[in-house]
Chain A
Amino acid sequence: MTASRNSVLLFTLKNAPLIILVAVFGTFASLSSKFPTLDNLVNILVQSSSILIAAIGMTFVLLTAGIDLSVGSIMFLSAAIAGKMILAGHPVALAFAVIVVVGALYGAFNAFFITRLAILPFIVTLSTRFAGRGLSLMITETRAMNLPGLVQIGSTRVVGIPFPILVLGFVLAVGHAVLTKTAFGRHIYAVGHDREAAKKAGINTVRVLFLVYVVSGLCAAVGGLVLLSQLGAVSPTFGELREFVAIAAAVLGGTSLFGGRGKVFPGTVLGAVLIQTVENGLNIINADPYVYPLITSFIIFLAVFIDSVRHAQLQQLKRRRIRVETSA
């Protein structure tokens, strides 16, 4: 009766991302035979790699009930600096190393205002988002930079695996390992669940909160790097609005905006792949490109809606305090 109905509902809620992905997949596969080819599937993975990398970093932040709206600007800044360096003749490896540091510093900058000065994360990252974009536009002088050499790197394959997926694999492995196998990772979950209890338990909450934003900055920079290697160019709209897609990927993958809940693998991976699948599928069936953002934002809305409902349910369950007798 209600018990089994409840468990079906619970199962759906818990596995929503996978179910939706399968549904979307099936829809597009039925609409076009070009969709479910191996080439296309690999393509989807490759296309999603840059945003997924950023989303992995975003997951760290969301787990602490925070938010990082500056990810797109970090991507842009990294690409801009790297582009400038490469055009100036510096070796590619050096440029890449530099932007990783830049990303970490940007994240630290955000982290400082959020942790030390106790300003709401969304306002801090909203401000740095604009400032960062401004800075990047300044560096690029609003002109596009063309770096055809990078595309070569972007399309190389090592043992048959495309470069973007290689980087993605590395970031994913490290991210997953940190979250599940290190004390720091477990502390992130604790802080996200109950910051006060975490403090009482002796966890250095300030340090945890600080580091997650640094991680996000790092991942955003790496994501920018990968995107740059795929596009081979930096335009003034590089990374525009990417932070929202990153948030969407994480939330769709089961990460809660309220903190304490979420996984990088399979969660965020599924989320990013889902979003990319939708875009890829729409492309293949020749849908109106203007429709993309509509569908994407609708999906985000749906994901957050599910998250909010689940959160409200959990709050309700906390009410019971009296001893329950043997009666039903």
Chain B
Amino acid sequence: MGNNVLEYQNVEKSFFGVRVLRNVNLALQEGHVLGVVGENGAGKSTLVNILGGVVPADSGTIILGGSHYAPRNPSDAFRHGIAFIHQELNLFANLSIAENMFIASFPKRRFAAIPLIDRKAIRSKTKALLESVDLHLSPDTLVEDLSPGERQLVEIAKALAADARVIIFDEPTTSLTARETERLFAIIERLRSQRISMIYISHILGDVLGLCDDIVVLRDGEVVGRGTRGEFTLEKMISLMVGRDIEQLYPPRSTKPSEEKVLEVNGVSHPGIVRNITFALRRREVLGISGLMGSGRTELARILFGLDPFQSGEILLNGLSLGGCSPRERVRKGMAFLTENRREEGLLMGASVVDDIALASLPSFARTLLRLIDELRMRRAVDRVTDSLRLQYGHRQTAKTLSGGSQQKVVVARWLMEKPSVFILDEPTRGIDIGAKYEVYRIINDLAAQGTAVLFVSSEIEELIGMCDRILVMSNGSIQGCFERPDFDKEKILRAALRKDAIQ
């Protein structure tokens, strides 16, 4: 038993009025590994982002090493000895390992009053650091020649070089091979013996149980379970993560899916991305695709819409193979795609809302010989759609100034202009408030009732359970389970999402 190197006391955080962390209390002992588990959106990232100085806490106290801790930015956190090993690594691939290590603080030697990099010094120091993470490579190796696992070890070595006292691992093993994962665990052991404290976030529960001394389970921003490793089992963690069903209101479904298959996916694979995806989507069906981060959901959606290629298998729309045709072709054939990041890939921020909404359906308003747009007809059609969505906007307004919920409606409106036969929605309720979420659910129901087949990709198991006829669960690029409505069970679904990995 050592003393607590880190303590959270009643920490709270909200984003745009939505509470993300409430009353979080936890403690990290010196030389221990604290596992943090929870579903997507449970608050794990925010919890460590506060520690890393990326966002400030709204209230509560954080004690680091016995004193008050409130970092203003990542550099501040860095100086306090906090090291953050992100999923997206911050290494410069065009520089060598040694250069990356010391990029901000090169040891220098003088050559006629000109400060030059002391190569010998950084080489030997880097070599020592690499040894300590069991990476036997030359310090002059370029980072771009390293595998993701090796790059991660370099990041850890960087943390050690900065005399980090607390190292945060955020989903570290997603892109690692089995061997590299083992190596990572060995390093963690070594770090532990060096009295370095660690926070380990992962959805691979088996790893967490095997690795961590203490565990914290988050759900909806609250700590619902906290204790030593011995107090937890796989079952207990899952049931805590899942909790009891909260009173989420979902609009009632008015129609049942028909038998007619609209979209058939057979054995679609692309190495490193998805493996052997096979399923069918029927008219009026709302098919959910669940899975944790990195499971390949969005990648599958993009492949289905033609944005990314696939190596083997086939996709049939209404019986006809889609082959390699472009998104443009698919739009013409009646497919629609709501991307998960409306800012980057969805909205035309600088254009007027009307133009934004009309974008995908322009050809149908330009049937004249000269392909001129019938503005009146277009505007009327846009108004019809926005009325049905209850979207309000000013005459010359651009999407930039709308709220998150309204922005999402704009993108949805775009696809509703032409009745799509297949509508793929990727995280449609991300970043919007409760009221707007309900609207989106209502829209999805209406769509299904009017004959559209909906593919609903989401990380929120509850909303899938509330909305879908069937749920497919993906993990590690392949489908791990399929659930029909009667069998909907949050725990079972989560288990399927974890299954491949939980059994390590």
Contact = CB atoms under 8 A, between A and B. Distances in A.
B43 interface: no
A322 B90 contact: no
Nearest to B293: A321
A310 interface: no
Interface string B174-187: 11110000000000
A203 interface: yes
B334 interface: no
B94 A323 contact: no
Given A182-B115, A186-B103, A201-B104, A320 B92 contact: no
Nearest to A181: B116
Interface string A308-328: 000000000001111110011
Contact of A322 (B74, B91, B108, B175): B175
Interface string A259-286: 0110000000000000000000000000
Interface stretch (A91-99, A165-173, A187-195): A187-195
B202 interface: no
Nearest to A184: B115
- Secondary structure type dominating chain A contacts: loop
Contact of B94 (A183, A193, A321, A328): A193
Interface in A198-232: 198, 200-203
Contacts of B116: 177, 181-182
B99 A324 contact: no
Given A202-B104, A203-B103, A182 B114 contact: yes
A197 interface: yes
B273 A183 contact: no
A182 B117 contact: yes
B209 to A, nearest CB: 20
A322 B296 CA distance: 7
A195 to B, nearest CB: 11
Interface centre among B90, B92, B273 (most CB of A within 10 A): B92
Contacts of A177: 116
Contacts of B434: none
B308 interface: yes
- Secondary structure type dominating chain B contacts: loop
A327 B271 CA distance: 9
Contact of B117 (A181, A193, A327): A181
Contacts of B94: 189, 192-193, 260-261
Contact of A186 (B75, B95, B272, B274): B95
B267 interface: no
Contacts of B119: 181
A319 B75 CA distance: 29
B117 A189 contact: no
A327 B174 CA distance: 17
A197 B92 CA distance: 8
Interface string A224-244: 000000000000000000000
A321 B117 contact: no
Given A201-B90, A323-B476, A189 B104 contact: no
Interface residues of B, number: 34
Nearest to A202: B104
Contact of B106 (A186, A197, A321): A186
A319 B115 CA distance: 39
B71 interface: no
A189 B95 contact: yes
Contacts of A327: 271
B93 interface: yes
A168 B71 CA distance: 49
Contacts of A190: 92, 95, 103
Contacts of B99: 186
A319 B271 CA distance: 11
Interface in A100-121: none
Contacts of A182: 114-117
Given A186-B95, A322-B273, A203 B104 contact: yes
A192 B92 CA distance: 10
Contact of B74 (A200, A323, A324): A200
Contact of B308 (A192, A201, A260, A319): A319
Contacts of B74: 200
A189 B274 CA distance: 35
B477 interface: yes
Interface in A139-171: none
A3 to B, nearest CB: 15
Given A181-B116, A183-B117, A320-B273, A194 B103 contact: no
A186 B108 CA distance: 13
B339 to A, nearest CB: 16
A320 B115 CA distance: 40
A190 B74 CA distance: 18
A189 B175 contact: no
A177 B117 CA distance: 10
A192 B477 CA distance: 33
Contacts of B294: 321-322
Nearest to A182: B116
A323 B174 contact: yes
Contact of B92 (A181, A193, A319): A193
Interface in B340-361: none
B5 to A, nearest CB: 24
Contacts of A183: 106, 108, 115, 117
A193 to B, nearest CB: 5
B296 A193 contact: no
Nearest to B89: A197
Interface centre among B75, B78, B93, B103 (most CB of A within 10 A): B103
Contacts of A202: 75, 78, 104
A323 B176 contact: yes
Contacts of B308: 319
Interface in A245-266: 260-261
B498 to A, nearest CB: 14
A198 B92 CA distance: 8
Interface in B83-124: 90-95, 99, 103-104, 106, 108, 114-117, 119
Interface in B447-499: 476-477
B459 to A, nearest CB: 16
A322 B272 contact: yes
B273 A319 contact: yes
A322 B104 contact: no
10 contacts: A181-B116, A182-B117, A186-B106, A197-B91, A198-B103, A203-B104, A319-B272, A320-B272, A321-B299, A322-B272
Given A190-B92, A323-B176, 10 more contacts: A183-B108, A186-B99, A192-B94, A201-B90, A201-B103, A320-B273, A321-B174, A322-B272, A322-B477, A323-B177
6 smallest A-B Cβ distances: which pairs? A202-B104, A320-B272, A183-B106, A322-B477, A197-B90, A181-B116
Interface of B: 74-75, 78, 90-95, 99, 103-104, 106, 108, 114-117, 119, 173-177, 271-274, 294, 296, 299, 308, 476-477
